[in-house]
Amino acid sequence: MRRPLGFALAAVGVVLLIWGISAADSFASDVSRFFSGSPTDRAIWLTIGGIAAIVAGGVMAAMPGRTLA
């Protein structure tokens, strides 16, 4: 049961990462980068959340399942 959840979490992470990169290339992020030197907080958190979900999903998918003895 852990492996399908890991793959699902990794897939959600990929979507969040793509969404974060897209938000980092938006006009609002360009304006924020002009004044503060960094993109919007939303773009940063989406990117960080996507990376974290990919890593967590990969770890969950790679762990061996329980065996019934």
What DSSP letter does each residue of the chain carry, written as one string?
Answer: -HHHHHHHHHHHHHHHHHHHHHHHTSHHHHHHHHHHSS--HHHHHHHHHHHHHHHHHHHHHHSPPPPP-
Q: Is residue 68 part of a domain?
A: no
For residue 68, the model assigns a pLDDT of 54
Domain residues for the domain of 33 are: 2-62
Report the pLDDT averaged over residues 27-32.
Answer: 88
| Helix 2-24, helix 41-62: angle, nearest 10 | 160
Q: Is residue 69 part of a domain?
A: no
Residue-wise pLDDT for 13-23, tens only, equals: 999 999 999 99
Domain count, the chain: 1
pLDDT category at 69 given cuts 50, 70, 90 is low
